[in-house]
Chain A
Amino acid sequence: MQQFLDTLNAALPLEGYLVVGAVMFAIGAWGALIRRNAVVVFMCIELMINAVNLSLVAFADYLPNAGGAGVGYAVLVIAVAAAEVAVGLAIALAVYRSRKTVNVDEINLMKG
């Protein structure tokens, strides 16, 4: 029991954070690639961004020589992500107004 508690209280190894980050990223990527609803795709992208953020923060904490640069970087990414969501949702709205749909399969104007 005590051993179990020790294990729980012990500092989490870096790999733990990274695995969680990777799984989050994979789920996000998976969703971004296969979901048809543009809003859900945006949400999935947020998930990927946050997976990356998690990794950045974990590295910042575990790598002493990094000097906490990863944290600052994570803040920057959050700011950019907010901006990106604002723009992206505006686009989604514009597309919806013109085509009455947010299904990404029907939006293929970039065809070569």
Chain B
Amino acid sequence: MTNSVFGQLLMAAIPGLPALVFLLLALFGRYVKEGAQFVAIFGVATSLVFSVFALGFVTGFPASLFPTGGVPIDFAVNWIDLGPGGSFQMGIYIDGLAAVMLVVVCFVSLMVQLYSGAFMEGDSRFAWYYAILNLFTASMLGLVVAPNFIELYIFWELVGLCSYLLIGHWFEKPSAAKAAQKAFIVTRVGDAALFIGIIMFWSATGTTSYEGISEAAQAGFVGGSLFTAAVVLVFIGAIGKSAQFPLHVWLPDAMEGPTPVSALIHAATMVAAGVYLVARTYDIFVQSPAAMLVVAYIGGFTALMAATMALTKKDMKRVIAYSTVSQLGYMMMALGIGAYSAGIFHLYNHAFFKALLFLGAGSIIYAMNSYNIFDMGGLRRRMPLTFWTMVIAGVSLSGIFPLSGFWSKDAIVVSAFAEGYYVLFGMALLTVFLTAFYIFRAIFVAFMGEPRTEAAREAVESPGIMTGPMVLLAILAVVSGLVGTPLGDFFAEVVAPSEFATGALAIEPHEFNVTMAVISVAVALAGIGLAYALYVPKPERATALARRFSPIYTFLDNGWYFDTLYDRIFVRPAMFFGRLVRQFDRRALGGLVMGVGRGASGAGERLRPLQGGGAQNYALFILVSVLILGVIVGAQYAFLTIALIATVAIAAVAVGSRL
């Protein structure tokens, strides 16, 4: 397959088709208008089919279809040839990990695009929205198949750009424009670090391919603190994209974008990129135990921190957004402690139920045009399909047996315990509790009780094109975990760390631990129970509690004051500097230019009276000028004297008579 042109074209078409759709829609979008969705859906559906095909090939399953399968797809062409300096390559590398990601990205993207058709109906930039959605998908797919850092970086930046465009899709709203800028600038911090890391790797090893760098490090060409620094810089890139502490601040603000975009960003395309980068370069990461520890603790801390932030949020989408940050923290933690398959398994399961949560939130917003859960209430009866799918997603997110979230979350928690990271284990378990609490708090407040506003009373279920994808995702939120159960862990076979990584980390398969599973489910159930007790029978209790612990409540509600902190440390000095530069530009540079102009015009104004229109004046000027010229040219002495006398006499007389 990797040798046949057809096979290579087929694989290149996976990111290529959405990119083509982007081109078509960007060029002809204004003519097709609402028809854009059909072009887009056709493109991404075809990509999905190809991705499934790729997954089948790399897993060699079913064997009758893929007799030569079971090996990664790997081919590349020279892109920039540097002669003796080596070359930069463009290629495609699809192993189990990449294939699973391809399928997830294509599937979620397809669901989101189906859903968007109704959600975005009547939007003034409908076709443009679909164009960017497809570019987003294409960039993520390209990022997934990239076999080297340079190719990855190109798509990495494209993903960032698309997220900027989509978050700012309703840029007429100042908050959306601001959120888009924030997302772009904050992730840019990570991108810059990633780029520096790439350059460090490249200068040390002379290659940018993951495999090459890993081999060079194993052979000892690069090591020590330089290597660790480079790895950590790459990880900072992943932090930025995956919204981990301390660069998590952009993700909640990214809720200003259209809700289906949030689903796409949170489930598949944007934030998954960071986790995927760490997983993709796992062979490099495992060679630096320090970097691995950083990954694990940043992940664990982020998981806990974001979960606490989600507790007090009133905005449905923000609750889910913080939940994403928290869940991504889980994945990072899993990768950091060596639970590679479990981390990716969680990424895969998370994609479905998180996309579902967002689409459900979008469905509510579509019905009643509000994000605030305290404006909702009683939606269970008005929107039963949304309610039940949301509950399934919530249960899955909480990690209740036997939904998909349970399998991966439990695997991570067990690994943390078994590997001896008891601090992380405690954090993870606490996060399980908080997760169950905040998501069911949102669900209970929104769907149970009595409607709190007129809009909630009159809400109606969304159309089938929106609920259809939700139901599909709900089914997956239930069953997607079944490929990785202890009875038959197909997932871990498909997405396995390399032999080298296994050896370096001394990874041992962790037996499914019934006690641990019971504990984590019990903790999650306790969270759900607490949410029920606080918000359903007597909602006053929650308010009373919030008042009682108002400093903590405010602290959490303000997201640990991270925004304020960054505002003070970075934004304000930057703004101050910006104002300074603007003042310099306006005063010094603008003043100079304006001064020259004003000087010329002023001089003209002064000289204007000289042009009085009187012929005699002109004659006088001519005469005086000629005389002066004569003096300057300096003829003979006598002539000079005569001229001087004549000048003085004539000028005196003439000027005197004029005045």
A contacts, CB < 8 Å to B: 15, 19, 22, 25-26, 29-30, 32-34, 41, 104-105, 107-112
Expressed in whole angstroms, the minimum distance between the Cβ of A94 and any Cβ of chain B is: 15
Tell me which residues from 587 to 643 in chain B have a Cβ below 8 Å from any Cβ of chain A: 608, 611-616, 618-620, 623, 638, 642
The answer to whether B619 touches A111, judged by C-beta atoms less than 8 angstroms apart, is no
Partner of A26, one of B612, B649, B657: B649
Docked complex Cα distance between A34 and B623 (Å): 13
The A interface, classified by DSSP as helix, strand, loop or mixed, is helix
* Given A108-B614, A111-B613, A112-B613, residue A30 in contact with residue B654 (CB < 8 A): yes
Partner of A111, one of B611, B623, B649, B654: B611
Return chain B residues, CB-CB under 8 Å to A29: 623, 646, 650
What residue in chain A is nearest B627 (Cβ atoms)? Answer: A29
The answer to whether A26 touches B650, judged by C-beta atoms less than 8 angstroms apart, is yes
> Count the B residues whose beta carbon is within 8 Å of the partner chain — how many?
19
B653 proximal to A (CB < 8 A): yes
Docked complex Cα distance between A25 and B627 (Å): 13
- Beyond the given A22-B646, A34-B657, could you list 13 further A-B residue pairs with CB under 8 A, ordered by the A residue number? A19-B642, A26-B646, A26-B649, A30-B654, A32-B616, A32-B619, A33-B616, A33-B623, A104-B615, A107-B614, A107-B615, A108-B614, A109-B613
The answer to whether A111 touches B646, judged by C-beta atoms less than 8 angstroms apart, is no
Return chain A residues, CB-CB under 8 Å to B650: 26, 29-30, 33
Expressed in whole angstroms, the minimum distance between the Cβ of B64 and any Cβ of chain A is: 97
The answer to whether A112 touches B642, judged by C-beta atoms less than 8 angstroms apart, is no
Return chain A residues, CB-CB under 8 Å to B653: 30, 33-34
Query: Can you pick out 24 interface pairs between chain A and chain B where the beta carbons lie within 8 Å of each other?
Result: A25-B646, A26-B649, A29-B646, A30-B653, A32-B619, A33-B616, A33-B619, A33-B650, A33-B653, A34-B616, A34-B653, A34-B657, A41-B616, A104-B614, A104-B615, A107-B614, A107-B615, A108-B613, A108-B614, A110-B615, A110-B618, A111-B613, A112-B611, A112-B613
The answer to whether B642 touches A22, judged by C-beta atoms less than 8 angstroms apart, is yes
Expressed in whole angstroms, the minimum distance between the Cβ of B603 and any Cβ of chain A is: 14
Return chain A residues, CB-CB under 8 Å to B614: 104-105, 107-108, 110
Docked complex Cα distance between A110 and B621 (Å): 15
Return chain A residues, CB-CB under 8 Å to B649: 26, 30
Return chain A residues, CB-CB under 8 Å to B657: 34
Return chain A residues, CB-CB under 8 Å to B642: 19, 22
What residue in chain B is nearest A34 (Cβ atoms)? Answer: B657
The answer to whether B608 touches A15, judged by C-beta atoms less than 8 angstroms apart, is no
The answer to whether A111 touches B612, judged by C-beta atoms less than 8 angstroms apart, is yes
* Given A15-B638, A33-B654, residue A108 in contact with residue B620 (CB < 8 A): no
Expressed in whole angstroms, the minimum distance between the Cβ of B473 and any Cβ of chain A is: 80
Return chain A residues, CB-CB under 8 Å to B613: 108-112
